[in-house]
Amino acid sequence: MKKIVLKSPAKLNLHLRILGQRPDGYHELLTLFHRISLADTIVIRKTSGGFKLTTNLSSLETGEGNLITKAYRALQAKFPGLGGVSVRLTKRIPLGAGLGGGSSNAAFFLLGMKKLFRLKISLKELFALGKKLGADVPFFLSDAMQAMAWGVGEKLQKLPHGHFLWFLLLLKDQGTNTRKVYQTLSWSGRPLSLTKERRIARILRSFLDRKRIREAATLARNDLEIPAFRLMPSIPKAMAVLKGLGAPFVLMSGSGATVFAAFSSRKEALDLSKRLKEVPFPFRKVICHSF
């Protein structure tokens, strides 16, 4: 095998609670990850030596700051005789969108390299390596289509999903800065109970699995919305438009800037998308589904 082609899917956070702040400044959280069909494409080819990453986006860093590059360096440190590769990344997941695009790219690059070079590395070792690259990477390394995550996002429990869900995403070309969103987050009060919040997330997931979207919406929250709203006022405006048009479940994903509405059918997502044509605002519409 000389090359491998991989789909690198995005994720949505169907629920995200900040449980408390750690002494090191990081925040403990609980979230419900859900893979979606919006995906990048990664092509990895063996070469005589070295590493080269190219992409369709001129604005994307392809040097040592890119997570794929960092993933290759990490593998190189573990396997000094690792062969050279050229990587072509075709981006469809927007940058800084709260959709986990960079983490997904790193995870699927690692999985692709393991298969292409038949690397003797266990999934546990890949998880340890991925955790150093980013908190969302372990989710994409797992085969879970849906999972509950806690800690800083690295502790996972795979959750089955009973029904296909459809989503209308509102995407912006300019994303949010995750670090700034967390810095803007004002934390006060007592930490939330992990046990209680895990129970709420399971109930929420159960509602979604039975296509009880409105009941799920009464439980779903994203505690990063308030700081993201301060940094990008167009986010709450977009959410208000979706709710005003009758979308039953509206949330921001991750630290933004993507806003989404969840539906039990493609028809509902299409109908709302058509109605949005009459409302001018700086978001691009994408319809997708559970991966």
Tokens 């308030």: give the residue: 226
196 is catalytic: no
User: Does residue 72 contact residue 79 with C-beta atoms inside 8 Å?
Assistant: no
Q: Compute the distance between CA of residue 149 and CA of residue 155 in angstroms, rounded to an integer.
A: 5
136 is catalytic: yes
Catalytic position from the list 11, 91, 131, 172: 11
Q: Compute the distance between CA of residue 177 and CA of residue 167 in angstroms, rounded to an integer.
A: 23
Catalytic position from the list 131, 136, 172, 223: 136
Identify each DSSP E strand in 160-267 by its residue range: 166-171, 250-252, 259-263
Q: Compute the distance between CA of residue 168 and CA of residue 161 in angstroms, rounded to an integer.
A: 19
Strands 259-263 and 250-252 come out as antiparallel
Q: What does the block give as tokens for 282?
A: 């700086």
Q: Among all residues, which ones are annotated catalytic?
A: 11, 136
